[in-house]
Amino acid sequence: MHQDIGLKLSRVPRLWRAILDERLAPLELTQTRWVTLYHLSKMGDGQPQCDLARSIGVEAPSLVRTLDQLTEQGLIERRPSDEDRRTKRVYLTDKATPLLKKIETVVEQARIEMIEGLSDDDIDQLDAILTRIEKNGQQLLSRSSCEE
């Protein structure tokens, strides 16, 4: 039974993203674009590109193409940092606001449906367990990167 936990931990996020992709398709956003917009909206305007990439879980160079596309759509702006001209900071545009509201509505509805049948205590316990698993994983990664 415990051997299936890893599989379940990998399947649930894939299901989550697939549901959101399906529901966000009418907005003509690819997964990388809506994920980037969503993370930026949660992190707040003016994030350095590298911090945004880290939050999403991608390498900074991988994010550049998505940011170019979002810029072309008029949804974000990239500006040089006042502290370090080499650093670009990412800002949402006014055009992104109604789109983000739609994304938030879709995400919230999917969240409600995905946790259907769970009590508040179940959700609190799940949150605590996932937080612990995430912390353990981060420690494992930091240990392995220190050994290299």
CA angle 121, 110, 36 (to 5 degrees): 110
Tokens of 8: 């379940």
pLDDT digits (tens, 9 = 90+) for 83-124: 887 888 999 999 999 999 999 999 999 999 999 999 999 999
What per-residue confidence (pLDDT) applies to 81?
A: 83
Q: Return the number of other C-beta atoms located less than 10 Å from residue 21's C-beta.
A: 14
What per-residue confidence (pLDDT) applies to 129?
A: 95
Tokens of 72: 């072309």
Structural contact between residues 34 and 99, judged by C-beta atoms closer than 8 angstroms? no
Q: In terms of C-beta distances under 8 Å and separation of at least 24 residues, what long-range contacts does 52-61 make, across chains too?
A: 52/90
Nearest-angstrom CA–CA distance, 102 and 109: 11
The phi, psi pair for 118, rounded to 5°, reads -100, 135
pLDDT digits (tens, 9 = 90+) for 3-47: 788 899 999 999 999 999 999 989 888 888 999 999 999 999 899
Which H helix or E strand runs over 88? strand 88-92
Q: Is the dihedral of CA 70, 75, 80, 82 positive or negative?
A: negative
